[in-house]
Amino acid sequence: MRKKIFKEFDIEVKPFLKWAGGKSKLINDIEDRFPENIKETGRIEKYFEPFIGGGALFFYLMSNYDVKESFIYDINSELIVVYKTIQNNPKQLINLLNEIKDEFIPKEHDERKEFYLDIRKSFNENLFNFDFENYSSDFIERAAQIIFMNKTCFNGLFRVNKKGEFNVPFGKYKNPKIFDADNLMAASFALKNTKIVQGSFLESEKLIDENSLVYLDPPYRPLSKSSSFTSYSKFDFNDDDQIELAEYYKRISKIGAKAILSNSDPKNTDENDNFFDDLYCDFTIDRIQAPRMISCNGNERKPVNEILVRNF
């Protein structure tokens, strides 16, 4: 653990959303593979995360490293709404979340469920009323809705259908912690000078150079048809996209950027599946054990491997 960079806060910033596939438990494995000069100096000139998701690694780096410039991207426009709101209006967001919490928590289960469904309905009725490219105070209510639903829905999922509608049912939490005000304020500080972009990972390529550290955490390739979960946004991420990402990885490697990529390991279910081994045959592929489980039979569940690809 490195010394905290934020003197203003006594906490290390954590993700403010629950996120399937979040990297909180794999940070040490990723950090161990950082370039030696970054580990020795604690300094990162330019940091890029083109699939920001829950942002576990980003917030860890912003808390523990001297990051001169940072850039985060995601195709999920709703996720970007939350990040930009926390960057620009954290206090107003906290005030609104407090109002929602104070109304929600005292209710009985059935009333809570009705309250949740009303929020979800309001959210889905306003899908196309936002200019996601240009931040405005209109984002605050939407960001509050997203955080509330994320912390009270079934399993804390963020899942949308082809229309972009949030479709996760209500969860059964007795005392859900909807938000942490101190963490949101610290996250706002971490995001203060970060460029936040709604768009494909390809958008980042024009700014990446030889001084860049790039971490790529795309939607994982499913280990089986039944395990597929790619609906973080209304856009699927299939094998063609994985191939396009590998080509992007090769291009940024040629210009000298240091890049690390996470993905599932197909060999968990088929030892002959060389999809990623072939795609990234010119780079170093490490297999690490991840705290995720496969098999619907509880007695047969076992930890799975993930891959970490690096070009240095």
CATH number of domain containing 35? 3.40.50.150
* Same domain as 208, residue 70: yes
CATH of the domain at 120: 1.10.1020.10
Determine the residue type at 307. Answer: I
Structural domain contains residue 1: no
pLDDT at position 88 is 96
User: Which one has a higher pLDDT value, 155 or 211?
Assistant: 211
Half-sphere exposure at residue 228, Cβ-oriented, CA atoms within 13 angstroms: 9
301's CB contacts (< 8 A; 6+ apart) are 293, 294, 295
* Same domain as 236, residue 155: no
Residue where one domain finishes, among candidates 151, 182, 213: 182
Highest-confidence segment of 75-84, 126-135, 218-227: 75-84
Q: pLDDT by residue (tens digit) across 4-37?
A: 555 555 678 999 999 887 898 999 999 999 999 9
* Same domain as 113, residue 56: no
Joined together, the tokens standing for residue 232 give 């973080």
Structural domain contains residue 299: no
Structural domain contains residue 301: no
- Whether 193 shows a pLDDT value over 50: the answer reads yes
Structural domain contains residue 109: yes
pLDDT at position 129 is 74
Structural domain contains residue 15: no
pLDDT at position 11 is 74
Residue where one domain finishes, among candidates 121, 153, 182: 182
Mean pLDDT of 152-156: 92
pLDDT at position 302 is 65
Residue where one domain finishes, among candidates 182, 213, 235: 182
pLDDT at position 85 is 97
Q: What is the mean pLDDT of the chain?
A: 90
pLDDT at position 208 is 98
* Same domain as 95, residue 54: no
* Same domain as 278, residue 141: no
If one counts the domains in the chain, the total is: 2
User: Which one has a higher pLDDT value, 303 or 24?
Assistant: 24
* Same domain as 101, residue 33: no
Report how far apart, in Å, the C-alpha atoms of 69 and of each of 19, 43, 117, 136, 239 are. Answer: 25, 11, 40, 24, 32
Structural domain contains residue 265: yes
What is this structure's pTM? 0.90
- Whether 269 shows a pLDDT value over 60: the answer reads yes
Joined together, the tokens standing for residue 163 give 């229309």
Let me know if 298 is exposed, middle or buried by CB neighbors in 10 A (0-12, 13-18, 19+): exposed
Let me know if 179 is exposed, middle or buried by CB neighbors in 10 A (0-12, 13-18, 19+): buried
* Same domain as 62, residue 204: yes
Contact 89, 95 (CB under 8 A): no
* Same domain as 83, residue 147: yes
Determine the structural domain holding residue 227 and report its residue range.
Answer: 24-75+199-292
pLDDT at position 9 is 59
